Amino acid sequence: MGNTEVVTNGPQGAPPPNWSARRNVIESEHYDRLLESNRGFRQARIRKECGPITDPQLHQQCLDSFAQYEPAGAATGYGSSTSSRHHYRSSAGR
């Protein structure tokens, strides 16, 4: 007793040979722009990512995580196709 072994799920292997940090950043920025400017895409992602969550608090947190992509001036929901730039930009991989 008293001995504790910590087991973590570390890296499982090398990235695929065609993986590129720059390409990953470009694709992430494209995804962010789609969330900001394409109402249908944003709503589909919300349904896919938040829909299965049954805990009310976690479900609300999931919905709130998409609010950062809500176009400026949108009064309710996830409407409008006007783009805004209020998202977090990572410098990882640059």
Position 5 scores a pLDDT of 74
HEC-encoded secondary structure of the chain:
CCCCCCCCCCCCCCCCCCCCHHHHHHHHHHHHHHHHHCHHHHHHHHHHHHCCCCCHHHHHHHHHHHHCCCCCCCCCCCCCCCCCCCCCCCCCCC
Position 72 scores a pLDDT of 60
pTM: 0.55
Position 58 scores a pLDDT of 96
Position 2 scores a pLDDT of 64
Residues of the chain with pLDDT under 50: 75-94
Position 4 scores a pLDDT of 75
